Chains A and B, each alone.
Chain A
Amino acid sequence: MNILGLAVLGLFVLLMLFFVSIRTRWPAAFRPIKAYQELNTAVERAVEAGERVHLSLGTGSVIGSDSAAAFAGLSLLSQVASATTTSDKPIVATAGDGAMAMLAQDTLRSVYAEANAEEHFKAISGRMLGPTPFSYTAEIPNLLDNEEVSVHVLAGSFGAEGALAADFGRRQGAFVLAGTEDVQSQALLFATTDYPLVGEELFAAGAYADAGPLHAASLRTQDAIRLMIILLIIVGTVLKTLGVIS
């Protein structure tokens, strides 16, 4: 039995609930992330200009270890879609996995139902572009061009193909924001995107979009646990240097 793992998970949940309970007395203050600040403006501009927003959930699968990034992308999709429900051109969400495309459809259906704008929901607003990473990426220029996309958001799991997907958006002249969980792909996205999300910034989307108290609390919990880990690393380094531990 992995007691330590369970204890860390339990601590995570307790801290999240603790930060939710103290959110009014001790409100969260987050550093500004330029990508999210600019995204709001770009989405508003796209809605006013009658242009479309595209959000890509990446090429990862629902059951894979890379699904967390796509779930964070779904959270961002929910927020961005809420801001575009009045648009003549509804947001398009794409994925490289069938199950993820279904989840995107479901998320969009919920958002439109909540905004009493069911007539704007179309099943093809959440779609699978291609089952392999590069077949998915190859379809992106076509989508950006034909659907008159002016905001191109990549929020999910990507490999090297993510850089190409972002570059296609830049060539189209669209606002491009991209984040993924893969470290090497983050480096590629840093070069090909105007607004890259570095590190765990992708997972902070909900907190920055004010998606709910648990989002802000989870971000504070991450910071608290990170601080504990850093302290443990420093203590471990000192103890090892002094020869206390081998």
Chain B
Amino acid sequence: MKIGAYLIWAATAIGVGVVVLLGYFLDSQLVLSLRLALMRWAVLIAAAALLLGLWNLLSVHWSKVSEQYPGWPYSALLILAFLVTLSLGLMFGPDNAVMVVIFDYIQLPIETSLMALLAVSLVVAGYRVVASRRDVSSLVFAVTAFLILIGTGPWLIGNGGSLQILLGEIRNWLAQVWAAGGARGILLGVALGSIATGLRVLLAADRPYGG
């Protein structure tokens, strides 16, 4: 029975995957229409999965509250915030002023402050790379980051001078020749890796749908 179910899932995944993939290469109206229909189904299923994911999120935090796990008040706050936001959203709609206020004055500042924290974390991490990892790649990383930084920003003293122009040229050379070339090489590898991963799913060697 299990093997039967596995074969059905695998055949469905392969069939749907092949149709969607062919839709990118063939001009056939039939294949294009099929691809469009399947993609629309995928969007609908992903939306339903979001609801399941949110239910899963609530279950995890509800169990933390009910079992009084360390940090359970944060979970209680999350559940409360979720329910209040959901209720307001259902009552007034997502474009209502109340929802806009919640987004602009609560969610946006919190996410922006995390972004600001990222800047601090990166400076500390950059220092740690130099201090703890004493190898060639770390040295190249640190020197390049330093040159790019001083070649990009305005200077407090000597702004527009010949040294700043020279460092600006070095920055451009590093960014446009070395960094762009390296990034293209990495992108090429990532693209090939993505194709291989997709093909493994199509050949049922990888089965993210279980089985």
Contacts and interface: CB of A to CB of B under 8 A. Distances in A.
Contacts of B129: 190-191
Given A12-B199, A99-B49, A163 B193 contact: no
A84 interface: no
A236 B26 CA distance: 28
A121 to B, nearest CB: 12
Interface residues of B, number: 66
Interface in A151-173: 160-161, 163-164, 167
Contacts of B105: none
How many chain A residues sit at the interface, stated as a range, is: 35 or more
A212 B205 contact: yes
B51 A98 contact: yes
A109 interface: yes
Interface stretch (B68-76, B87-95, B159-167): B68-76
Given A161-B118, A163-B122, A99 B45 contact: yes
Contacts of B98: none
Given A68-B197, A137-B114, A191-B141, A146 B208 contact: no
Contacts of A62: 42, 46, 49
Contact of A146 (B26, B69, B117): B69
A135 B117 CA distance: 14
A75 B208 CA distance: 8
Interface in B38-72: 39, 42-43, 45-46, 49-54, 56-57, 59-60, 63-64, 69-71
Contacts of B64: 146
B208 A200 contact: no
Contacts of B124: 167
A1 B26 contact: yes
B4 to A, nearest CB: 15
User: Which residue, B24, B192, B197, has most C-beta atoms of chain A within 10 A?
Assistant: B197
Interface in B108-135: 110-111, 114-115, 117-118, 121-122, 124-126, 128-129
A61 interface: yes
Given A1-B25, A71-B206, A200-B189, A13 B117 contact: no
Contacts of B189: 199-200, 222, 226
A124 B56 contact: yes
A43 interface: no
Nearest to A191: B125
Contacts of A163: 118, 121-122, 125
Nearest to A138: B114
A183 B141 contact: no
Contacts of A132: 107, 111
Interface of A: 1-2, 5-6, 9, 12-13, 16, 61-63, 68-69, 71-72, 74-75, 95, 97-99, 101-103, 106-107, 109-110, 123-124, 127-132, 134-135, 137-138, 142, 145-146, 160-161, 163-164, 167, 181, 183, 186, 188, 190-192, 198-200, 202-204, 206, 212, 214-215, 218-219, 221-222, 225-226, 229
Given A129-B57, A146-B70, A218-B199, 16 more contacts: A6-B25, A61-B46, A71-B206, A110-B207, A124-B60, A128-B56, A134-B114, A134-B115, A164-B121, A181-B193, A181-B194, A183-B186, A200-B189, A203-B192, A204-B193, A206-B206
17 contacts: A5-B24, A12-B196, A62-B46, A63-B39, A68-B194, A68-B198, A71-B208, A99-B50, A107-B208, A124-B59, A131-B50, A134-B111, A142-B71, A161-B118, A163-B121, A203-B192, A215-B205
The 8 closest A-B pairs by CB, nearest first: A98-B53, A203-B193, A128-B53, A99-B49, A68-B194, A200-B189, A200-B193, A214-B205
